Amino acid sequence: MRILMVGAGATGGFFGGKLAEAGRDVTFLLRERRAEQIRERGLEITTPNGDLTIQPKVATAEQLRESRERFDLIVLTTKAYQLQAAMEDLAPAVGQATMLLPILNGMRQFSMLDERFGAEHVLGGCARIYAEMDELGRIHQSAGPSQINYGEHSGERSERILSVDRALRDAGFQTVLEPDILATLWQKWWFLASLSATCVLGRGVVGDIAAVVPYGPSLARAVIEECAAITQANGYPIAESALLHHIDTMTQPGSTLSSSMYRDLIKGAPVEADHILGDLVDRAKGVSAPLVAAAYVQLKVYEAAQAN
């Protein structure tokens, strides 16, 4: 299976690098600066279990257009705000039987990809990984699971999703072929949106917010319940045990837990406001979610200030 990894940041670089190390036929579609960086230094990955430097195949959008190569599987690992440009860059690589596997957060990516390429090309997927990329382009994976979940939107165990499963398995990270990938995606979105909104509103990591008793824990609990209510309104109720566990996690004094959105915010970097919080509020179906909406407003004001 010929695999095109769109992006080589912390997520795409780690999973694509591990696939390449395992002998899979992987090419990275990259911006010129990142492509040149990897050509010169290699793709460098550090993990608790050992370090890795490989020289993977890389291509820029211009090279992809010129070659007109088609790929069997295209894995999208960009940030949500980069998706529109990424779709144009990867379009020449999409053939009649090409599968697109986005491992972005939220759900908005599916309507965008369906409209651009046709729903028949688009699989469901998400990833779990604790990793960051430093200023030299080195990827540092910390302790914790690294995993990709994927499946057909219909839940069917089709021959093509089984071929994806075979290609991704046994490559140095966990894989899960999901019987209901949409439920998994909503579960992750609920978790991430509630964590992001709480950190944005509290302007701190979980432990700092939880230490402001009783108002910090009350804020976290209320945001979690708003996000859970929206998820349920869309047909994917959160189990009581998962809800209670998440509330416990989000109200722990001393916890350093935060979302990547919050870390991007305090660094002055772009954020996935529309994709993670805005789209969730838009799908509220009459559910009242003033705290999630307030967090979204804060992020949009931040984006406007950054643009100016």
pLDDT the model gives residue 42: 98
- Evaluate if residue 143 carries a pLDDT over 90: no
pTM score of the predicted model: 0.95
- Between CA 232 and CA 226 the distance in angstroms is 10
What are the pLDDT digits (tens) for 265-299? Answer: 999 999 999 999 999 999 999 999 999 999 999 99
162 three-state secondary structure:
helix
Using the structure block, give the residue that is written with the tokens 């002055």: 268
CATH for 184-307 (3.40.50.10860, 1.10.1040.10, 1.10.8.640, 1.10.3720.10):
1.10.1040.10
Cβ-contact 219, 132 below 8 angstroms: no
The token duo for 306 is 């950054």
Give, in degrees to the nearest 5, the angle at Cα 258 between 252 and 262: 140
CA dihedral sign, ordered 207, 209, 215, 221? negative
CATH for 2-179 (3.40.50.720, 3.40.50.300, 3.40.1360.10, 3.40.50.170):
3.40.50.720
What are the pLDDT digits (tens) for 144-155? Answer: 889 999 999 999
What are the pLDDT digits (tens) for 88-103? Answer: 999 999 999 999 999 9
CA dihedral sign, ordered 83, 108, 95, 24? positive
- Evaluate if residue 227 carries a pLDDT over 80: yes
pLDDT the model gives residue 144: 80
